A = this chain, B = another copy of it.
Amino acid sequence: MSDTGVTVKKCQDFSEWYVEVVLKAELADYAPVKGCMIIRPDAYAVWEKIQEVVNQKIKATGHKNVYFPMFIPESFLKKEAEHFEGFTPEVAWITQGGDTPLEEKLAVRPTSETIMYATFSKWIRSWRDLPLKINQWCNIVRWETKATKLFLRTREFLWQEGHTAHATSEEAEAEVMYALNEYKDVIENYLAIPVLIGTKSDSEKFAGALYTTALESIMPDGKALQMGTSHNLGQHFAKVFDVKFIGEDKQDHYVWQTSWGITTRLIGAMVMVHGDDKGLVMPPKVAPVHVVIVPIPFKGAEPEVIAAKAKEIAQTLKAKGISVVLDDRNEYTPGWKFNQWELKGVPIRIEIGPRDLKQGQVVMVRRDTCQKTPVKEIDIPATVEKLLQEIQDNMFAKAKAILQEKTTSVQTYEEFKKVLEEKGGFIKAAWCGSPDCEAKIKDETGATIRVRPFQKEEPTTNCVVCGQCAKETVYFARSY
């Protein structure tokens, strides 16, 4: 099994374990282009599930999908100074079309604010055209110079970017929270990963935004992972790209804008949070396969009877909308198949052997707990449905317990550094609000403010860095 199974324990070498699971469970592969990745079928199916859920949500609330060009003239990127400065170090540039050098080089989109809003100024004329709420699913390029990691940091990735324009600041604020809360639902209730939500500090906000809200989770190695962001752009871009409307008051006004996105990195988070030493564990709600059926033939036990029963069960489950694979390949043993499907994280395995057949039952095995239960044939569909929900709930509960376990309140900077070194995770600490204290912590420890929670907690100590009066309690962590 050593060449096909996972050879590293999750608690031993988390980073190596992660890469092995992603490669061996066939979620992704290294591409022949440095820093890029190939998203393989099982991971792409998870992405399609995320697309389906997000599309359903945002379409129901009047957002429409579109597609804007991926090329952005350099002059556009430059229009919002903060935005340009933030993105230009990691832009891939097209300088040549066919044999001809381009007059102006083109950025491959690192994000689409500038190209979209240049057009918004053409589309939006009066209050009747508002709100404008669009979204696109596309590829994004950021020319990373740091070490890349499959799903988490690659030079090209897939994402969804929502962009909206509103008549009032209040509407834009509500939209920012709308997107954030829908992301929370997707990440917690589909991917089974609990998140903290809140705003970013100024130093961590999106380049060009008024403020950024974010969802953050903690990975088993104690490092935080940003799971999605929703930005209030205020009128910054509107002023630069001249996105104005004539109000019901007949006056010109700049629009208020938001943008928000989640990426294929969520698939990496899913692997890290739920996987175990046998491989991947897929949350049922996004799993491309819910149930694998493995017939276990013995000599003289009428394999064709077992095969027929396995097929019948598969059909019954499929009719209920459950995604089933019947693994009746002859070239592999049942044991090999068990390992293979555990590696791929399929939530439920059904085994049918000659003895089961006689007793009118099957053996059902949960991937999350590895628990085996005999189930009467007649109870199979109901048990599968119940079990899928139980697995989903259990995975979230386990992940939530880890998040809680990996969150520590500290009183002093000494304690802060000690916890960060020994345990990692989120560190709740009082902060005075000064960028200097934030910078000092980052320089000295590598930790940054991940979120300033919406639910304010009154600081019980002074600022953990400077000892001055604290303004708020925030969550620090080292991060991916």
Given A64-B41, A106-B33, A128-B331, check contact A93 B95 (CB 8 Å): yes
B residues less than 8 Å from A99 (CB atoms): 89
Tell me whether A322 is interfacial, beta carbon within 8 Å.
Answer: no
Q: A31-B119, A68-B31 are in contact. Are A98 and B106 (CB under 8 A)?
A: no
- A89 touches which of B45, B98, B106 (Cβ 8 Å): B98
Residues of B within 8 A of A67 (CB): 38-39, 44, 47, 139, 158
Verify if A108 is at the interface (C-beta below 8 Å from B): yes
State whether the Cβ of A318 lies closer than 8 Å to any Cβ in chain B.
no
Is A355 located at the chain interface by the 8 A CB criterion?
no
Partner of A38, one of B39, B48, B68: B68
Which of A71-79, A194-202, A290-298, A407-415 lines the interface with chain B? A71-79
Is A70 an interface residue when CB atoms closer than 8 A count as contact?
yes
Among B39, B138, B155, the residue within 8 A (CB) of A139 is B138
Query: Given A29-B119, A139-B139, A134–B41 Cβ distance below 8 Å?
Result: yes
Identity of the chain B residue whose Cβ is nearest the Cβ of A42 in the assembled complex: B64
8 A Cβ contacts from A85-126 to B: 88-99, 105-106, 108, 115, 118-119, 122-123
Contact partners of A31 in chain B: CB under 8 A: 68-69, 115, 119
Stoichiometry, copies per complex: 2
A40 close to B (CB within 8 Å): yes
Asked if A145 lies at the interface with its beta carbon under 8 angstroms from chain B, I say yes
Q: Does A7 contact B (CB under 8 A)?
A: no
Note all chain B residues with C-beta closer than 8 A to A36: 69, 71
Q: Is the CB of A33 within 8 A of B115?
A: yes
Closest residue of chain B to A76 (Cβ to Cβ) is B32
| A227 contacts the other chain (CB 8 A) | no
**Which residues of chain B are near A65, meaning CB under 8 Å?**
41, 44-45, 48
Q: Is the CB of B32 within 8 A of A73?
A: yes
Check A60 for interface membership: any CB of B closer than 8 A. no
A380 and B39 CA atoms in complex are apart in Å by 47
From residue 363 to 401 of chain A, which have CB atoms closer than 8 A to chain B? none
Q: A319 at the A/B interface (Cβ < 8 Å)?
A: no
Q: A172 on the interface (CB 8 Å rule)? A: no
- Is A426 part of the contact surface with B, judged by Cβ < 8 Å? no
Category for how many chain A residues contact B: 35 or more
Residues of B with C-beta under 8 A to A145: 98
A156 touches B96 (CB 8 A): no
Q: What separation, in Å, do the CA atoms of A447 and B448 have in the docked complex?
A: 65
Q: A32-B115, A73-B33, A94-B108 are in contact. Are A66 and B39 (CB under 8 A)?
A: yes
A465 CB, nearest partner CB in chain B, Å: 32
Verify A71–B156 contact, CB threshold 8 A.
yes
Is B92 within 8 A of A97, CB to CB? yes
List residues of chain B with CB within 8 A of the CB of A38: 66-69, 119
Q: Is A260 in contact with chain B by the CB < 8 A criterion? A: no
Give Cα A401 to B143, complex, Å.
53
Q: Which residues of B contact A76 (CB under 8 A)?
A: 32
- Answer yes or no: A269 CB below 8 A from chain B CBs: no
Chain B min CB distance to A265 (Å): 14
Is A191 interfacial (CB-CB < 8 Å)? Answer: no
Q: Verify if A37 is at the interface (C-beta below 8 Å from B).
A: yes
Instruction: Give CA–CA (A39, B67) in the complex, Å.
Output: 5
Collect the chain B residues with CB atoms within 8 Å of residue A41's CB.
64-66, 134
Min C-beta distance of A442 to chain B, whole Å:
22
List the B side residues contacting A33 at CB < 8 Å.
Answer: 69, 71-73, 106, 115
Bound Cα distance from A156 to B115, whole angstroms: 14
B interface footprint on A31-64 (CB within 8 Å = 1, 0 otherwise): 1110011111100110110000000000000001
A107 CA to B122 CA, complexed, in Å? 32
Task: Give the distance in Å from the alpha carbon of A58 to the alpha carbon of B470 in the complex.
Answer: 59
Chain B residues, CB < 8 A from A106: 33, 92
Provide the residues of chain B in CB contact with A48, threshold 8 Å.
65
Sample of 8 further A-B pairs with CB below 8 A, known A45-B64, A138-B139: A31-B115, A32-B119, A44-B65, A44-B66, A90-B98, A91-B97, A92-B97, A93-B95
Kindly list the 5 A-B residue pairs having the minimum CB-CB distance in the complex, ordered from nearest. Answer: A41-B64, A97-B143, A36-B69, A39-B67, A93-B96
17 contacts between A and B (CB under 8 A): A29-B122, A32-B76, A32-B119, A33-B73, A33-B106, A41-B66, A44-B67, A48-B65, A70-B156, A89-B98, A94-B94, A94-B95, A95-B95, A97-B143, A97-B155, A98-B145, A108-B108
